[in-house]
Amino acid sequence: MNAPISTTMRREKAGERRISSPIQSYLQTLHAELSGENAGEVATYIPELGRADPERFAIAVATVDGQVYCVGDAGMGFTLQSISKPFMYGYALREYPKAVVLEHVGVEPTGEAFNSIVLDDVKNRPFNPMVNAGAIAVAELMQGADGAARAANMLALMSAFAGRPLDIDESTFRSEQATGHRNRAIAYMMLNSGMITKAPEEVLDLYFRQCAVEVTCIDLAIMAATLANHGVNPTSGVQVLKPPHVRDVLTLMNSCGMYNYAGEWAYDVGIPAKSGVSGGIIAVIPGQIGIAVYSPRLDGHGNSVRGVEVCKRISEEFGLHVFNSQTSIRSVIRRQYHADAVSSKRLRTPGEWALLKREGKRIAVVELQGALFFGSVERLIRRVGKTARTADFIIIDFKRVHLVDAASARLVRRMVRGLLPVSGQIALTHLGHDGPAAGLRRKVDEIDQPEQILMFEDTDEALEHFEDLLLAESPQARQDGRFMLAELDIFRGLSAAELKLLEPIVQAFRFERGDVIVREGSRARLFYVIAKGSVSISIPLPGERRKRIAGIGPGLTFGEMALLDGGRRSANVVADETVTAYGLSVEKIRELSVAHPNIMIVILGNMTRSFSERLRRANEEIAALE
């Protein structure tokens, strides 16, 4: 008989449990609403462009992690036209010193049409790289031995931004080459004044080709998302531009990308953008998304009518105007606690626990989260300054920091240096050599008093280190070495006669650093008491990784759970250093207990007490971390 299928299973089978994305449905509604907008004219001054179907309409949004939302004719090809300009400018910045690029093209908005024949005669260069004159000057900077090599390099560049191989639409290229006399006029004028030096036809060949690169709306969204993603293509992971160059490109898109509409655009939409006469527009929200729209009917500025409206509405609906900035500096400190309330995973003797409870306030942990930039670092500096007045040891935990800009890395370094004279020791945790805080790690490594600045891979290790310092300061600090069985917690309450019975079954062991004393899954035959040194207990995580769940030192036992279930080991125990330990055979204790049942009763009672103390402490820690 077939088992009845539950409702949930049936729904999952039919795929009904997928929620529809509100972003996708918003774009669909927007597309439907604007499909009726018929204002504007398709560009015809390049004859091939005039053949475009005016009804075509696509919207695509790509996120910085490569998710693409699209609606309408998003897979249909059209040419980049002026949208090629910011990418070529990014290339120039990537390949040449900035000063050289600035010799060829300025950064001032013109307030003029895209094809204006105005040049900055004072500085002897085109005003900016978003107008045709500037873009032609930038096209001259494309490297390559001949025209074919330059065209191939340009295509490779655009393809890297799109994350797939792109091609040139030959008929649009030829069409503009045959009719683009206004651009010819601009190029010759620039040759005349020395702004370009190569033959104008050669430079124009590349310029017309870059304008004729065929893309889809989805490609454009990915190209825009590459700019949004600090120059890294979100689908291929390739770093096409470096962040400072992306910043320069976006600055010019913001001030000049929409030509003589740029001011109004900045006011209404407030997103760096670039339009092209084929009807495309890209808009870039740094760190978030790239938006692309395609609709060939243009307004008087040469911008897509529906494209402008789509961007306006998306900006409004999703609060994307760049000056809407919602960045919060408040949440940079995730939480702060002290070692009296939250201790390391190292297990301690009751005396040590009591000492840590009394003195633990001297160790502070400041856990950070989110992005470190000027505003959030300023908060951090104040908090750490206040903490340093009472705590001797400060641990700053960067585990949840996902971004540290160069300026805040410098500030954190200065903060740490400033703390050194007033604070005992500072530990920085989760500052990997790669990852978001790598730049900060390099800055901290530059500080010349590194012995006061400790680096730990994780906060637990740092806590354990400082706890050990507190415990070592105490006059009761144990000089580890020998333990009388009677001193061990697990045997507390046994009579002298019972302890005597146990003595012959104790075996002494010595382990070296890295020795696996207990292996997960193996049969549990002994339990151990540490006389000297310490061990780590770890459990496996997915993959090859392991999680250290406890550290154990002198006077404490491990493997004692074998007394309860006698089964298989549930974790690995590895020696952290040279360890002297005593092992007691579980079987022998059991045998002894047949004639002397009180031995087992006392041991189990002590274990139960220790477990419940650990549970209580865990509960207190959970409460302290809330």
- Active-site positions? 82, 85, 207, 259, 277
Element of type H or E holding 26: helix 22-34
254 vs 275, which CB is nearer to ligand DON?
Answer: 275
Chosen residue from 114, 161, 398, 483 binding ligand DON by CB under 6 A: 114
186 vs 380, which CB is nearer to ligand DON?
Answer: 186
Residue 378 CB, nearest approach to ligand DON (Å)? 42
Report helix, strand and coil shares of the chain as percent, to nearest 5.
45, 20, 35
CA distance 172 to 517: 74
Q: Which of 207, 229, 211 is nearest to 274 (CA)?
A: 211
Residue 111 CB, nearest approach to ligand DON (Å)? 15
Residue 366 CB, nearest approach to ligand DON (Å)? 51
Residue 172 CB, nearest approach to ligand DON (Å)? 9
| Interface with ligand DON in residues 177-196 (CB under 6 A) | 183
CA distances 563 to 553, 558, 580, Å, are 20, 11, 21
CA distance 84 to 123: 25
114 vs 127, which CB is nearer to ligand DON?
Answer: 114
Residue 258 CB, nearest approach to ligand DON (Å)? 8
| Interface with ligand DON in residues 204-263 (CB under 6 A) | 211
Chosen residue from 81, 233, 425, 606 binding ligand DON by CB under 6 A: 81
Residue listed under structure tokens 């415990």: 471
Residue 132 CB, nearest approach to ligand DON (Å)? 5
Task: Show the binding pattern over residues 128-167: x = contacts ligand DON (CB under 6 A), - = does not.
Answer: ----x-----------------------------------
68 vs 142, which CB is nearer to ligand DON?
Answer: 142
Chosen residue from 82, 116, 233, 429 binding ligand DON by CB under 6 A: 82
Angle formed at CA 47 by CA 44 and CA 50, multiple of 5 degrees = 50
Chosen residue from 115, 159, 315, 557 binding ligand DON by CB under 6 A: 115
Element of type H or E holding 487: none
Residue 450 CB, nearest approach to ligand DON (Å)? 55
276 vs 533, which CB is nearer to ligand DON?
Answer: 276
134 vs 360, which CB is nearer to ligand DON?
Answer: 134
How many C-beta atoms lie closer than 10 Å to residue 161's C-beta?
Answer: 27
130 vs 339, which CB is nearer to ligand DON?
Answer: 130
Residue 136 CB, nearest approach to ligand DON (Å)? 8
How many C-beta atoms lie closer than 10 Å to residue 55's C-beta?
Answer: 11
Q: Which of 39, 521, 1 is nearest to 295 (CA)?
A: 39
Judged by DSSP in three states, 23 sits in: helix
Q: Which of 291, 294, 334 is nearest to 313 (CA)?
A: 291
116 binds ligand DON (CB under 6 A): no
Cβ proximity of 256 and 59 under 8 Å: no
Q: Which of 592, 606, 580, 607 is nearest to 499 (CA)?
A: 592
Q: List CB contacts of 418: < 8 A, sequence separation 6 or more.
A: none
| Interface with ligand DON in residues 263-282 (CB under 6 A) | 275-277
Q: Which of 519, 438, 531 is nearest to 480 (CA)?
A: 531
Q: List CB contacts of 22: < 8 A, sequence separation 6 or more.
A: none
176 binds ligand DON (CB under 6 A): yes
Task: Show the binding pattern over residues 376-415: x = contacts ligand DON (CB under 6 A), - = does not.
Answer: ----------------------------------------
CA distance 280 to 296: 7
Query: What stretches of 236-305 adopt beta strand conformation (E)?
Result: 273-275, 280-285, 289-294, 297-298
Q: What tokens does 535 get?
A: 């061990």
Residue nearest to ligand DON (CB): 82
CA distance 538 to 553: 15
212 vs 529, which CB is nearer to ligand DON?
Answer: 212
How is 588-624 classified by DSSP, letter by letter?
HHHHHHHH-HHHHHHHHHHHHHHHHHHHHHHHHHHHH
Cβ proximity of 509 and 528 under 8 Å: yes
304 binds ligand DON (CB under 6 A): no
Chosen residue from 302, 554, 555, 559 binding ligand DON by CB under 6 A: 302
CA distance 407 to 367: 20
CA distance 115 to 125: 15
CA distance 13 to 380: 50
49 vs 419, which CB is nearer to ligand DON?
Answer: 49
Residue 114 CB, nearest approach to ligand DON (Å)? 4
How many C-beta atoms lie closer than 10 Å to residue 506's C-beta?
Answer: 13
Residue 39 CB, nearest approach to ligand DON (Å)? 16
Residue 431 CB, nearest approach to ligand DON (Å)? 46
302 vs 533, which CB is nearer to ligand DON?
Answer: 302
The DSSP bridge pattern shows strands 453-456 and 425-429 to be: parallel
Q: How many residues bind ligand DON (CB under 6 A)?
A: 12
Residue positions counted in the chain = 626
44 vs 449, which CB is nearer to ligand DON?
Answer: 44
Tell me 339's DSSP state. T
Q: What tokens does 284 get?
A: 């870039």
Binding site for ligand DON (CB under 6 A): 81-82, 114-115, 132, 176, 183, 211, 275-277, 302
